[in-house]
């Protein structure tokens, strides 16, 4: 069926049966909201580690890293490794999530600022974010799984044949040197790039696959709540590691069988001999527009600020029995993902050696490699790979679903329907969770690429990040200032960019808003490798047909040559770029970046900037403005109620006890004496800034976490250099 063997289908069905059974078993243990949304706060380090690893690792990670690395070289790992430099901060701030002792992160805004409406608004923003990250997993999983059911050229429909012809024409034009194109060919190339025709088509309908996975996730996670989600995450975490390691031995065996050598080192030697040197540039690869060092630095800053305000952070850590368990589990689980990311990138380099020139759509490389390397064995490994991809998706989707349903139930429904039974609220949470998964599936159809979805997710939390960080550490932050920061940021950076093009559609075709960055040429000198020789042979063969321009010189392995990379023009103001409308003209797509429009109107020529620099400017503006608004407005508004602040901050200084009764007793002591832990404030008693002094666990853990981040970078450098 769909090109899969019976044993592969049996493996997939068997996996689904196991996770659904876990959901049914967990459902019998649920008594109240804390049981459903936070699994009774009873998990230790082992479950917390795999929960952090599972909920942070979806199908988009392995597939996405492979895609970007296959296209851009090892620099493509930064599409997933951006969180690396923020990870040491987790050791210090993750315990906050457990000390909050709340059901949802929306409750923070009610408890800190005394505003249920602010909590409700955060819940809406958080649910949109959760559905977006679920949609990222859906998009990545479907692209790879459908790639396992390819159609042959003879099986194409009439429309598919026409699109395939256009795709082949695009490949032919892009293979030519820019200076050899005629004016007509240049225009045709630009038009085809906007249309982006496909050249691969499949038997399996991705929409059907999405809804199958939706049903499975809803069956076990809706039934069993967070306990079912985290128990299956532990199982699925093991599957993800299997997914990471499975293809390596098959890949290097095929490389050595094809090109000579023996074992892993032989395959790595072939990789360095054949691949262009640009593929081994970790920073500043000339073919990578999106991940320059300064863009990575800006994204790291934004992610460090925004990651803590993600709603799933409380869900993932509030379920731990104590704060050490949550901080240990989350940091170790996060570093497990970072190591896997490096391995995904290294596999992609091996895949370039095997499939360069055979697979033109890099999004499909993981699926193609699975069929080519594992399919001939016919022992169910293709089915296991599909199960791994679905497991990676579901391990993220279940946590996001429970998180979003807790926000909808606890911060929106509960204030409107007070006094209901715990059973009633759990039932509402289950219904809300189902709607969230369905919403994620629908959002998956609204973006062209996974990177567009990720950028939207990375930036969404700028609306509420300032209210969280400043409110957590500065007593002077006021409710009016928090409202001002959230609302103004929402209007300027999200609502207006979304609504203005709807109410004034002419903006999408306005010439002043269709400006693009200038095409840039980057010249690098490299030693010639075998792939360089083969690519030049292809260019010479095409020149022999066209006879346009000077004949390219043949290359020889070991010589040096100069290569010119052309970075294509990119839209400055539209988040999804510029596309062709129904009339054949150009129009902007996605949201309008008003901050860049403002800079353009001020006379700053953004077209001369690299695309990554414009994106960096946009990120810095979006990250800093909410903090500036909150601080300034706080200084000009009245302080919040002192009793409210004392109760919040003394709770945040009270360590979590593993035994619930003892934890409750300690909290009562703190509430009775709000000055109980004033000696812990590094700025002294009565200070507005609330920064606790570090203890031995804080210091040693942070140092070790920094060393772990450095070790991941060294692992990346070492694996890329090995065999070279």
Q: Is there a single domain that holds both residue 16 and residue 161?
A: no
Could you give the 3-state DSSP secondary structure of residue 516?
A: strand
How far lies 211's CA from each of 396, 434, 443, in Å?
A: 16, 12, 13
Whether 433 and 222 have beta carbons less than 8 Å apart is answered as yes
Q: Is there a single domain that holds both residue 337 and residue 460?
A: yes
The set of residues, in sequence order, having a beta carbon less than 8 Å from that of 245 and lying 6+ positions away, is 343
Rounded CA-CA distance 77/343 in Å is 9
| CA of residue 28 relative to chain centroid, distance | 34
Q: Is there a single domain that holds both residue 209 and residue 311?
A: yes
User: What are the respective helix, strand and coil percentages of the chain, to the nearest 5?
Assistant: 70, 5, 25
Q: Is there a single domain that holds both residue 188 and residue 115?
A: no
Asked whether residue 217 carries a pLDDT value surpassing 70, the answer given is: no
Environment class of 152 (CB within 10 Å of its CB; exposed 0-12, middle 13-18, buried 19+): exposed
Domain count, the chain: 3
**For residue 3, which phi and psi values (nearest 5 degrees)?**
80, 5
Query: Does any domain span residue 180?
Result: yes
Q: What is the pLDDT of residue 483?
A: 97
Q: Is there a single domain that holds both residue 144 and residue 158?
A: no
Asked whether residue 288 carries a pLDDT value surpassing 70, the answer given is: no
The set of residues, in sequence order, having a beta carbon less than 8 Å from that of 432 and lying 6+ positions away, is 404, 405, 408, 409, 413
Q: What is the pLDDT of residue 489?
A: 94
Asked whether residue 448 carries a pLDDT value surpassing 60, the answer given is: no
| pLDDT tens digits along 343-359 | 988 888 888 888 877 77
Q: What is the pLDDT of residue 645?
A: 95
Whether 191 and 375 have beta carbons less than 8 Å apart is answered as no
Most confident of 5-14, 76-85, 100-109, 411-420: 100-109
Q: What is the pLDDT of residue 584?
A: 73
Rounded CA-CA distance 264/266 in Å is 5
How far lies 620's CA from each of 2, 81, 461, 482, in Å?
A: 47, 20, 14, 20
Among 97-111, 185-199, 580-594, 606-620, which stretch is predicted with the lowest mean pLDDT? 185-199
Could you give the 3-state DSSP secondary structure of residue 376?
A: helix
Rounded CA-CA distance 450/702 in Å is 32
Rounded CA-CA distance 461/470 in Å is 14
How far lies 111's CA from each of 105, 254, 313, 409, 672, in Å?
A: 10, 59, 17, 17, 17
Strands (E), 568-653: 578-580, 586-588
Query: Does any domain span residue 29?
Result: yes
Percent with pLDDT over 70 in the chain: 82
Q: Is there a single domain that holds both residue 77 and residue 118?
A: yes
pLDDT band of 1, cuts 50, 70, 90: low
Q: Give the CA angle between residues 41, 44, 49 to the nearest 5°.
A: 110
Give the residue numbers spanning the domain of 415.
6-150+202-244+288-346+356-474+692-697
Q: Return the number of other C-beta atoms located less than 10 Å from residue 17's C-beta.
A: 10
Asked whether residue 646 carries a pLDDT value surpassing 90, the answer given is: yes
Q: What is the average pLDDT value for the chain, to the nearest integer?
A: 81
How far lies 625's CA from each of 16, 606, 634, 678, in Å?
A: 46, 20, 14, 32
Q: Is there a single domain that holds both residue 232 and residue 145?
A: yes
Beta bridge partners of 516: 571
| pLDDT tens digits along 386-439 | 777 776 666 667 677 778 888 888 888 888 888 888 778 778 877 887 788 777
In order, the DSSP letters of 234-290 are HHHHHHHHHHHHHHHHHHHHHHHHHH---HHHHHHHHHHHHS-GGGG-SS--TT-SS
Q: Is there a single domain that holds both residue 185 and residue 316?
A: no
Q: What is the pLDDT of residue 708?
A: 95
Beta bridge partners of 567: 520
Whether 231 and 22 have beta carbons less than 8 Å apart is answered as yes
Considering the entire predicted model, what is its pTM? Answer: 0.77
| pLDDT tens digits along 518-575 | 877 777 777 888 777 877 777 777 777 666 667 778 888 878 877 777 777 888 998 8
Q: Is there a single domain that holds both residue 121 and residue 163?
A: no
List the CATH number of the domain containing 395: 1.20.1730.10
Q: Is there a single domain that holds both residue 69 and residue 161?
A: no
Q: Is there a single domain that holds both residue 72 and residue 213?
A: yes
Q: Is there a single domain that holds both residue 28 and residue 175?
A: no
Asked whether residue 27 carries a pLDDT value surpassing 80, the answer given is: no
| CA of residue 331 relative to chain centroid, distance | 17
pLDDT band of 445, cuts 50, 70, 90: low
């Amino acid at each position: 069926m769909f090109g899969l063997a019976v044993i592969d289908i049996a493996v997939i069905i068997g996996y689904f049966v196991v996770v659904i059974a876990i959901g049914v078993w967990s459902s019998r243990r649920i008594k109240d909201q804390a049981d459903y949304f936070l699994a009774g706060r009873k998990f230790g380090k082992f479950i917390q580690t795999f929960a952090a690893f599972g909920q942070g690792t979806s199908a988009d990670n392995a597939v996405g890293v492979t895609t970007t690395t296959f296209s851009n070289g090892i620099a493509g790992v930064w599409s997933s490794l951006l969180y690396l430099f923020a990870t040491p901060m987790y050791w210090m701030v993750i315990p906050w999530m457990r000390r909050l002792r709340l059901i949802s992160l929306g409750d923070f805004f009610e408890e800190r600022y005394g505003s249920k409406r602010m909590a409700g608004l955060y819940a809406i923003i958080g649910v949109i974010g959760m559905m977006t990250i679920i949609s990222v997993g859906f998009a990545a999983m479907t692209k790879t799984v459908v790639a396992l059911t390819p159609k042959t050229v003879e099986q194409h429909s009439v429309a598919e044949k026409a699109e395939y012809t256009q795709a082949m024409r695009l490949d032919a034009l892009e293979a030519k040197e820019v200076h050899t194109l005629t004016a007509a060919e240049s225009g045709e190339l630009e038009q085809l790039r906007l249309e982006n025709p496909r050249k691969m088509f499949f038997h399996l309908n991705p929409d059907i696959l999405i809804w199958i996975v939706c049903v499975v996730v809803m069956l076990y996670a809706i039934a069993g709540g967070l306990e079912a989600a985290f128990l299956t995450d532990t199982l699925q975490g093991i599957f993800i590691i299997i997914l990471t390691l499975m293809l390596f031995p098959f890949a290097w065996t095929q490389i050595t069988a094809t090109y000579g050598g023996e074992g892993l080192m032989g395959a790595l030697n072939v990789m360095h001999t054949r691949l262009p040197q640009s593929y081994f540039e970790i920073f500043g690869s000339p073919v990578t527009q999106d991940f320059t060092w300064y863009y990575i630095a800006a994204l790291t800053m934004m992610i460090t600020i925004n990651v803590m305000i993600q709603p799933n952070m409380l869900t993932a850590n509030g379920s731990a029995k104590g704060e050490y368990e949550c901080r240990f589990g989350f940091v170790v689980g996060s570093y497990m993902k970072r190591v896997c990311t490096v391995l995904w990138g290294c596999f992609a380099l091996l895949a370039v050696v095997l499939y360069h020139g055979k697979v033109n759509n890099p999004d499909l490389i993981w699926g193609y490699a699975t069929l080519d390397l594992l399919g001939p064995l016919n022992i169910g490994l293709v089915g296991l790979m599909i199960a791994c991809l679905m497991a990676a998706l579901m391990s993220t989707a279940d946590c996001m679903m429970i998180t979003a349903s807790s926000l909808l139930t606890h911060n929106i429904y509960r204030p409107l329907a007070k006094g209901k039974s715990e059973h009633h609220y759990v039932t509402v949470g289950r219904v809300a969770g189902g709607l969230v998964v369905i919403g994620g599936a629908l959002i998956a159809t609204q973006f062209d690429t996974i990177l567009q979805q990720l950028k939207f997710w990375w930036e969404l939390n700028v609306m509420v990040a300032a209210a969280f960080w400043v409110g957590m550490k500065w007593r002077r932050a006021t409710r009016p200032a928090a409202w001002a920061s959230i609302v103004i940021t929402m209007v300027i950076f999200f609502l207006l960019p979304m609504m203005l093009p709807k109410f004034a559609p002419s903006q999408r075709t306005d010439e002043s808003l269709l400006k693009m960055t200038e095409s840039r040429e980057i010249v690098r000198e490299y030693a010639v490798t075998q792939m360089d020789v083969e690519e030049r042979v292809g260019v010479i063969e095409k020149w022999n047909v066209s006879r346009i321009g000077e004949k390219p010189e043949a290359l020889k392995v070991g010589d040096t040559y100069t290569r010119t990379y052309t970075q294509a023009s990119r839209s400055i103001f539209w988040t999804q770029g510029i596309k062709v409308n129904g009339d054949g003209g150009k129009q902007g797509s996605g949201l309008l970046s008003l901050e860049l429009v403002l800079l353009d109107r001020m006379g700053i020529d953004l077209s001369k900037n690299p695309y990554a620099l414009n994106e960096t400017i946009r990120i810095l503006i979006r990250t800093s403005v909410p903090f500036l608004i909150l601080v300034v407005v706080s200084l000009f508004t009245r302080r919040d109620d002192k009793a409210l602040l004392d109760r919040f901050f003394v709770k945040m200084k009270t360590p979590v006890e593993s035994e619930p009764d003892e934890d409750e007793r300690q909290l009562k002591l703190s509430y009775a004496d709000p000055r109980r832990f004033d000696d812990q404030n590094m700025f002294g008693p009565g200070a507005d800034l609330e920064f606790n002094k570090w203890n031995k666990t804080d210091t040693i853990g942070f140092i070790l976490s920094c060393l772990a981040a450095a070790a991941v970078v060294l692992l990346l450098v070492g694996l890329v250099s090995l065999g070279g």
